[in-house]
Amino acid sequence: MNLLTAEEVSTMTGLSLDTLAQWRSQRRGIPYLKLGRRVMYDADEVEAYLEGCRVSVSNPNERRRK
């Protein structure tokens, strides 16, 4: 398992650290791990989140992959 810090996820996704923190408090967004006081993200979960954001342009009736 490859773990990423919130800072690394912010850089990869373009989401601010504040947005990531808000999502964690609202229990939404990218799944995360709490190791003591540290917040870590599984790189595979981050990739899955990014894949879910992919917008298809080949079929005009399909806007997001599900």
Decide if 42 is inside a domain: yes
Phi, psi of 41, rounded to the nearest 5 degrees: -120, 140
What's the pLDDT tens digit per position in 26-60?
999 999 999 999 999 999 999 999 999 988 887 66
Phi, psi of 62, rounded to the nearest 5 degrees: -110, 115
Domain that holds residue 35: 3-52
Decide if 16 is inside a domain: yes
- Whether residue 64 has pLDDT greater than 70: no
Would you say 16 and 22 are in contact if contact means Cβ atoms under 8 Å apart? no
Task: Output the pLDDT for position 58.
Answer: 76
Decide if 60 is inside a domain: no
pTM: 0.80
Decide if 63 is inside a domain: no
Q: How many domains does the chain have?
A: 1
Decide if 65 is inside a domain: no
Decide if 18 is inside a domain: yes
